[in-house]
A and B are shown apart, each in its own frame.
Chain A
Amino acid sequence: MMDRESKLIKKIKKGDQRAFKKLYDVYADYSLRTAYGITGNQADAADIVQEVFIKLYRNIHLFDMKRPFKPWFYQLLVNEARRYIGKKAKQAISVESEELLDYLHTGTEDEVDFEDLEIAMDKLEENHRTVLILKYLNDFTEKEIAEILELNLNTVKSRLYKARRKLKTLMGGVADEK
């Protein structure tokens, strides 16, 4: 863990509010964007991040200083986002069926339209949306994503492959990966 971050966490463990605010400032932007990317709603993202930081503060004594903080934090964030989505019983539109993929797959390979990115992301299953957000918004490596989501590395690779394929199809391109 970075030395500065380690010192901040030690201080938070001692109840120091200023250190907690500093940690918030470091993580607020990307955690809000990540939660927004997963839920597609800014108000929901704010609720999730609020809950994560409250839980973090109350459970910081459980954090093992030998572990890296960032994956632990994102694990809390993703779990909270999932819990929140489940609680709201949001019915994600599943695009599992090959029929739908075939239906959507009408364009040529150069027709991927990123103008539809938000709509396409919203149509993905939550677990596909989450891996894409962690990889492309947060720049986590596949190994780090595996740690955050507590998954096998191969599962992450496979999930990323499927997620990219579906996203590309939903944006009007072909689903192949070269």
Chain B
Amino acid sequence: MRNKQQFDDKLREEMQKRIHVDSELKEETWNKIHQNIFEAKRPSKSKKKSFVAALGTIAAIILLTFGLMTDTGQAMIQNLKDMFVEEKQEEIEIEGQKEESNTQLETNEALRYVIYVDEDRYKMVKGEEVDRIETKEPLGDRYPDVYMEISRRENTTTEDVLQDIEQEITADGLEVVRQEHVTEPIEAEVIQGMGKKTTNESGKTGHQWDTPIHRYYVTETRENQVFVIKQAYFLEAEEGHGARFHYMLESFEIVE
């Protein structure tokens, strides 16, 4: 070796050539990772059912593998529950304080979407037209509505839906206070309505603690369909329920 450059070049070439691993090792390692993360989380079944469960797991792996590796597999419809982990723990920030949030996967196979719901505070109520995430413990009568609704509107466009929502906001007695394109928590058009200013018992005029806020996220049009996510809460709950809805919505995903 005459000089450093020659030695460097030769060393690089030899390392690239000699340090390689068996191709099976990559696949074997993935199987162990998959087993450890995704299969270990499944609830344990009775012995009688374990063989069926094992078959189901194998089928899911095959389905997932083909879905990933073949063109024809792309056309296969995968079960959403098999594509996402069931539970996740996330660190979120509420009113300046960091906290751990336990979230549970919720899926809608018909509408092909997933979302993780903070299972300690909210529950998902599936409806025919609309899925609604609402508080586990009902709020008292003195509080305005608090929920997040997910629906899909068909044979329409984002622009038309935005116009409809504007009318809904007005019909609910609220005023449109914001409309813009956002990329967080999801990429969508946002339109927000807020209750009008009033004068309370103490004579204070303006927005009150219980002034309702209705925020709508409208996704872009795909095949004449748009998703609408409506968040309803009130002014005082903006940094509480409002922030929690925001974090949950971050996990919302439409799966094609």
Contacts and interface: CB of A to CB of B under 8 A. Distances in A.
Interface string A44-61: 011001100110011001
B13 to A, nearest CB: 9
Interface residues of B, number: 43
A144 to B, nearest CB: 15
Nearest to A11: B253
Highest count of chain B CB atoms <10 Å: which of A14, A112, A164: A14
Contacts, number: 115
Nearest to A110: B1
A42 interface: yes
Contacts of B88: 15
A25 B91 CA distance: 27
Given A133-B15, A164-B7, A17 B83 contact: yes
A54 B37 CA distance: 7
Given A54-B33, A112-B7, A117-B14, A42 B22 contact: yes
Contacts of B38: 17
Contacts of B37: 54, 57-58
How would you classify the secondary structure of chain A's contact residues: helix, strand, loop or mixed? helix
Interface string B73-108: 000000000111100101100000000000001000
Nearest to B35: A50
Interface residues of A, number: 43
A112 B29 CA distance: 35
A32 B7 contact: no
Nearest to A21: B68
B3 A33 contact: no
Contacts of B30: 21, 24, 28
B49 interface: no
A117 B4 contact: no
B1 A112 contact: yes
A16 interface: yes
B25 A46 contact: yes
Given A32-B29, A117-B14, A137-B16, A14 B36 contact: no
A59 to B, nearest CB: 10
B85 A136 contact: no
Nearest to A58: B37
Nearest to B4: A177
B18 A15 contact: no
A11 B91 CA distance: 16
Contacts of B1: 109-110, 112, 168, 173
Contact of B90 (A16, A61, A114, A164): A61
8 contacts: A14-B114, A14-B250, A46-B25, A112-B7, A133-B15, A137-B15, A137-B16, A168-B7
Interface of B: 1-4, 7-8, 10-12, 14-16, 18-22, 25-26, 28-30, 32-33, 36-38, 64, 67-68, 82-85, 88, 90-91, 105, 114, 116, 250-251, 253
Sorted from nearest, which 8 A-B pairs have the closest CB atoms?
A: A15-B84, A178-B3, A32-B21, A136-B12, A136-B15, A137-B15, A114-B14, A46-B29
